[in-house]
Amino acid sequence: MQSEGKKRIVVKVGSSSLASPHGGCDFAKMKLLVEALSLLKNEGHEVLLVSSGAVASGYTLLGYQQRPRTLVAKQAAAAIGQSVLMQSYASLFAEHHYNVAQILLTRSDFSDKERYHHAFETISLLLSRGIVPIINENDPVSVAELTFGDNDMLGALVSGLVHADLYTIITDTDGLYDKDPRKHKDAVRIPYLAEITAEAEAAAGDAGSLGTGGMRSKIIAAKTAQNLGISTFIGRATRPDSLLEIAAGRGEGTYVSGKNENLPTRKQWIALHSPVKGQIFIDEGAAHALTRDRRSLLIGGVRDVAGDFQPGEVVEVFCGSQPLGRGVSRYGAEVLRLALSPQQGVRLENEVIHRDQWVLVP
């Protein structure tokens, strides 16, 4: 546990904030970032860095004059660039007497329950020893179906995994505006968002930059973090003390508040990462018990079952056509169908889904 005033902070930095126009990463930008992160560490905060920049660091070494467009070329550039990137980070952090650790993740590391748990344990141990975990997507082996889309989302999911106090997305703009400031001189910056609405997403637009994620992807990532109970900052870090200012609530950008409940790790896995194996349809009384009273789901409230799931697998729960959430079913689909059949007379002694294995749809 962090002492009062000390926070666990995930900082995500994108390619546009690191890359040099001529290829590779801008060493001066990296030096400023590491100095800012080290100041956070010096104040007792725990710091995790989610860093893009592997492709930018590697494509010139691969012989390309500009960032490649094909998947295989990007993966090859990332394979070269990731080691270059880590060497730079290790050298820069060493100047501040901190060690770093590289962690490369894919979607399958989150969807596999055991690997998800091991990732949490590994990162927790590194933080407890004062190491700075530097996290990136494992680009050289990722395929389209297993990617995070961009590191904005990876940072949000990592923030949830480690139960961060603040997720900080460093970008080259000073937060979210009510309209595109490049097109509208009267655009007004939004300093704080209690909730990310459809209007806020629309205001973010689809503006892109050198990296894969524009402002819209950052808002979507912040919404994911918000649903996990984590606050997010989106904005600039242009000075060594910028991250300290951000942590203190005085950052140059937009803050998005987290919701009250910080989801336990097991519930995060159920909500966001677990493979769904079937559906359970329940009546309104059971829906009220699950969503309002926070009670477990009993067989008496189940009306139908779809799919061929096994005991311990995750299912979606519906009331009519309305999705309510996800949960781990104690029983397989076949047993539940037998229990629902009056002719079979099968009785279930336990709840179908325990409240501790249940998550509402955000």
Annotated binding-site residue? 186? no
Distance of CA 142 to the CA centre of its chain: 17
277 labeled part of a ligand binding site: no
Q: What architecture is domain 275-360?
A: Roll (2.30)
User: 139 a known binding residue?
Assistant: yes
The answer to whether residues 282 and 319 touch, using CB atoms and an 8 Å cutoff, is yes
Q: How many C-alpha atoms does 310 have within 13 Å on its Cβ side? A: 1
User: In the structure, what pLDDT confidence band is assigned to residue 4 with cuts at 50, 70 and 90?
Assistant: low
Taking the C-alpha atoms of residue 112 and residue 332, their distance in angstroms, rounded to an integer, is 20
3-state secondary structure of 234: strand
329 marked ligand binding residue: no
Crossing angle of helices 151-161 and 113-128, in 10° steps, is 80
Exposure string for 88-101, b = 16+ CB within 10 A, e = fewer: bbbebbeeeebebb
Residue 283 marked ligand-binding: no
Q: What is the pLDDT of residue 143?
A: 53
Whole-angstrom distance, CA of residue 358 vs CA of residue 199: 30
Give the global pTM: 0.84
**Distance (Å, rounded) from C-alpha 236 to C-alpha 251?**
8
48, 164 in Cβ contact below 8 A? yes
pLDDT at 211: 38
Q: What is the pLDDT of residues 104-122, one digit of tens each?
A: 998 888 888 899 999 999 9
Helix H or strand E encompassing 221:
helix 215-227
Largest CA distance in the chain: 75
CB neighbourhood size of 197 (10 A): 11
CATH of 8-265, one of 1.10.10.60, 3.20.20.100, 3.40.1160.10, 2.160.10.10: 3.40.1160.10
Is 15 marked as a binding-site residue?
no
Q: Is 165 annotated to bind ligand?
A: no
Domain ranges of the chain: 8-265, 275-360
* Mean pLDDT rounded to a whole number for the chain: 88
Residue with tokens 């100041």: 39
Nearest C-alpha neighbor of 279 from the set 361, 202, 183: 361
**pLDDT, mean of residues 91-114:** 93
Torsion on CA atoms 208, 61, 29, 70, rounded to nearest 10: 10
For 180-204, write each residue's pLDDT tens digit.
787 888 888 899 999 887 777 776 6
Structure tokens, 327: 């949960």
Give which of 302, 300, 345 is closest to 327, Cα–Cα.
302
Q: Is 214 annotated as a binding residue?
A: yes
